[in-house]
Structure 1
Amino acid sequence: MNPKTMSTRSRIIAGALVAAVAGTVTVGAVSANADQPETPAVAVAAKANTSDRNVTTVPVLTIDAATKAAEASLAAANKAGQHVSVAVVDRDGVTRVLLKGDGAGPQSAESATRKAFTAVSWNAPTSELAKRLAQAPGLKDIPNTLFLAGGAPVQSKGAPIAAIGVAGAPSGDQDEQFAEAGVATLGG
């Protein structure tokens, strides 16, 4: 049919059909390509990025090890007749394991987490850090920290990779003993 002799209505319908066919072909091509593996250019670029010298690997405490340590801390507290909560955080202060022991107070879970966060942040037991407040009282204003005894860092080659915090015993010294019992199960 000659486009010059077609009515406006016929031209609109013909144009719509052409657009529909073109769209179907395009969608089909995209769908077919979606099932294809990466092109070599993309694979090469990804491979090149993995050898970037600006990337580092950091040791991480496994979830099994974190759970083992938390359970050991809780068992030490139970043996002493104390009702505590135990938190294990990773190097970034993210909670990996939190155990709220039977009979532990409502504040103990958050306190244990904050003690662990504080210990990993400074790579030191929180009992030592609490003593530093006399020289630097502003430390206590850092969010999510708690400068009370009961937090112990977990180290690998001298660097902090995690920490255990315990809260709920009548004294921070007891909390810290229970935290250290968890660290001891990790072999270091």
Structure 2
Amino acid sequence: MSSRRKPSRRTRVLVGGAALAVACAGVVGTVAANAADSGGTAPAAAPAAARGGDLVQSTHLTLDAATGAARAAVEAAEKDGRHVSVAVVDRNGNTLVTLRGDGAGPQSYESAVRKAFTAVSWNAPTSELAGRLAQAPGLKDIPGTLFLAGGAPVTAKGAPVAGVGVAGAPSGDLDEKYARAGVATLGH
């Protein structure tokens, strides 16, 4: 005769409940796996619609306009016998176009991008911003900026939409003259 005791009713209920839970988990897992697409990812949640008050609109230059401004700046410099690089950035400081003129120095490329970024960031010519360094010397430590003359903002209805930066001429005043020549083409 065996000395094993018969499990109590409570033990049988707990064991049966656990077995039922394992079986249900397997069914749920199978259903979830079958709901996934062939790539193995779960179905995407329905897109949420943003409320009108949560949205803003912004204006951006077209690539053609940015390219035209950059070419105009390079051509203005070439007329004066100068070799420059030109960059046009969008409102967010992302580079749209860069042109490195024949004979432009290697440092001019990055400097042009940084001047354009600085001009659009503060919606001011970089020659004006360079003067502000005396009151706020920490400005020069902001990543991606260059507070030397040669950057000009592009605006639409008073708001900045782009920046044109030029580097490589013998002076920042000349760089800025060529940047302004690029900006001027956008008003026509």
Q: Which has the larger radius of gyration?
A: 2
Q: Distance in 2 between matches of 1:122 and 1:30?
A: 48
State the one-letter code of the partner of 2:153: P
Instruction: Say which SS state the counterpart of residue 49 (structure 1) adopts.
Output: coil
The aligned counterpart of 1:133 is 133
The answer to whether structure 1 residue 147 and structure 2 residue 153 are counterparts is no
- In structure 1, the partner of 2:70 is 70
Q: Does 2:116 match 1:116?
A: yes
Q: Could you say which residue in structure 2 is the equivalent of 1:18?
A: none
Question: Unpaired segments of 5 or more residues in structure 2?
Answer: 1-29, 39-44
3-state SS, counterpart of residue 145 of structure 1: coil
Q: Within 1, Cα distance between the matches of 2:167 and 2:177?
A: 11
Residue 172 (structure 1) aligns with:
172
Opposite residue 152 of structure 1, the aligned amino acid is A
- TM-score normalized by the length of structure 1: 0.75
Cα separation, partners in 2 of 1:92 and 1:30, compared to 1, 3 Å = closer
- Paired with 1:176 and 1:182, the residues of 2 have a C-alpha distance of 10
Gaps of 5+ in 1: 1-22, 33-40
Give the SS at the match of 1:186: helix
1:55 Cα offset (Å): 1.1
CA RMSD between the two structures = 2.5
Amino acid of the structure 2 residue aligned with 1:91: R
Deviation readout 1:71-116 (Å, 9 max, x if unpaired): 1001101111000000000111110000011000000000000000
**1:160 matched residue in structure 2:** 160
Measure, in 1, the Cα distance between the counterparts of 2:153 and 2:78: 21
4+ residue runs over 6 A deviation? 29-32
Q: CA deviation at 1:52?
A: 3.6
Distance in 1, Cα, partners of 2:143 & 2:37: 49
Identity within the alignment, %: 68
Q: CA deviation at 1:53?
A: 2.0
Indicate the residue corresponding to 1:84 in structure 2: 84
SS of 1:102's equivalent in the other structure is coil
TM-score w.r.t. the length of structure 2 is 0.75
Amino acid at match of 2:115: K
2:186 corresponding residue in structure 1: 186
Which residue identity is paired with 1:134? A
Using the alignment, how far apart are the partners of 2:136 and 2:49 within structure 1? Answer: 43
